[in-house]
A and B are shown apart, each in its own frame.
Chain A
């Protein structure tokens, strides 16, 4: 007897979000990246549409990273000391379609650059590379409230994805993103209740749910990966069942988390393996956008995506 597949019927779908604006859209990007839009769980093509593949963004900093592992330093070489050359290498050599720039140099402990300098950096970066940008603050709330509005304005109309808004600090960023036509990342500490609440708070300020990407906060393999996985899965099931307040695509900072582990630094290629396993696991719980560090890990993950998502 032929086995009959039990297919789920879903009432909802994830919002589709575009990152980057080309000339016709008022920006200057050479390409745009669409994420989200799925009306089924990952890879279950018979239960709904999966119009966009998970995307990979290469992480770039505005200042040389001081504590990156040798495995990463070797992969990039000298360009780590020149953010623009670093970004250029990602685009030209590693074929990045999307960059995630972290404004680490504005952190009070890592350079303490001011808003004008940050804005100038973004303007220059936009002129040097033509892929869409994700812009991430330095992690210091007070400082981010100064530099992110400046970066947002400098990238006006380029439809960037900017973050991260958190429950205790979202209003300044939401106002900037609204004014300058970007999308926002809403970060919650592996907590589905806060993820939902923050989406509501942001949409109450007039930024529609369609322009929010959830950063659920993840842990790498061995460091809470399964916890993040189950939170994402639960949010995704609710969204597909019709809960619009959770129907945002997910962004996962897989590079950052994988390279924090001691295992990543314990032998040649271990970091790459850790990053690949973390990323590919999260793709299966619904990750739409992966921010990655090692070019070889990104290559492997893109190959995985292109193989498995080929319908």
Chain B
């Protein structure tokens, strides 16, 4: 499982004020803590309060790559902000994200190619959030099709079925999970899959439990990557165990420690 740490997000108070005050140390600590907990890549989002994300994004990128060479997942709905992040990156990058809308695809696929970045494609469009699996597949197919036409390698594409809170869209959970498996057979070679995990428990009282239960189920459906809180130790332990049960790693009594030694 390719773990993308979600904690460098201006939406969180400590990160929001660190961005505002240009407190590099706080950002770097957050990056290193997430890596120590098992993050393979770091999501970077300036947050809704950032008045100048085109300046904040490259500043965050610079601050983080001073302390790590892990891939950076540049998270913004604005292609211009992402491009500023790409320009500043020496580390590998992941663009987070394009939707299935033509204007986004036309802006972001060329950027991903130019900067040799991976690309996350969320299966939503300006028409809204899909209501079932078929709509998700239709949007996924549109994203894959655009990548193929633009000669962007589909194995560098991560499709996100868009996870909704379980207390809002309980009826959609099964469709979301099944989409993960079906996205992967859209093309050969197939795209990879990712999702923003914490959304599933938004507004609930048992967030951590819901997160790790959903993640386990998603892993069983073939999920390749997730954007999540790597500091949630029970979540990571559950993930390691789920992968163990799927025979992705060899069992030993200290298998949790063994995974972390990797």
Q: Which residues of A contact B (CB under 8 A)?
A: 192-194, 196-197, 200-201, 203-204, 234-235, 238, 242-246
Q: Looking at the complex, which of B9-17, B68-76, B122-130, B245-253 is the stretch in contact with chain A?
A: B245-253
On chain B, the residues within 8 Å of A245 by CB distance are 252, 258, 261-262
Using CB atoms and an 8 Å cutoff, list the residues of chain B in contact with chain A: 249-254, 257-258, 261-262
Q: Which residues of A contact B252 (CB under 8 A)?
A: 193-194, 196-197, 200, 245
Chain B residues contacting A200 (CB-CB under 8 Å) are 252, 254, 257-258, 261
- Residues in B neighbouring A204, C-beta threshold 8 A: 257
A214 to chain B, nearest CB (A): 13
The answer for the CA separation of A246 and B251 in the assembled complex, in Å, is: 11
Distance A201 CA – B262 CA, assembled complex (angstroms):
15
Secondary structure call for the A interface: helix
Determine the distance from Cα of A234 to Cα of B261 in the docked complex, in whole angstroms: 19
For residue B248, which residue of chain A has the nearest CB?
A241
Contact assessment for A242 and B250 in the assembled complex, using a CB-CB cutoff below 8 Å: no
Q: Are A243 and B253 in contact (CB under 8 A)?
A: no
**Chain A residue with the shortest CB-CB distance to B249:** A243
When C-beta atoms are compared, the residue in chain B nearest to A198 turns out to be B252
In the assembled complex, which residues on chain B have CB atoms less than 8 Å from the CB atom of A201?
A: 254
B250 touches A246 (CB 8 A): yes
The list of the 3 closest CB pairs from A to B, nearest first, reads: A196-B252, A197-B252, A245-B258
Distance to closest chain A CB from B230 (angstroms): 19
Do the beta carbons of A193 and B251 come within 8 Å of each other?
yes
- Is B262 a contact partner of A243 (Cβ separation < 8 A)? yes
Interface contact A243-B250, CB-CB below 8 Å = yes
CB distance from B257 to the nearest CB of A (A): 6
Complex CA–CA separation, A196 to B258 (angstroms): 8
Report whether B262 and A242 are in contact in the complex, using a CB–CB cutoff of 8 Å: yes
Identify B262's interface contact among A197, A203, A244, CB under 8 A.
A244
CB-based contact A234/B250 at 8 Å: yes
Instruction: Compute how far the CA of A277 lies from the CA of B251 in the bound complex, rounded to whole angstroms.
Output: 31
B250 pairs with A196, CB closer than 8 A: yes
Q: Which residue of B lies closest to A239 (CB)?
A: B250
Would you mind naming 13 contact pairs between A and B with Cβ atoms under 8 Å apart? A193-B252, A193-B253, A196-B251, A197-B254, A203-B261, A235-B250, A238-B249, A238-B250, A243-B249, A243-B250, A244-B262, A245-B258, A245-B261
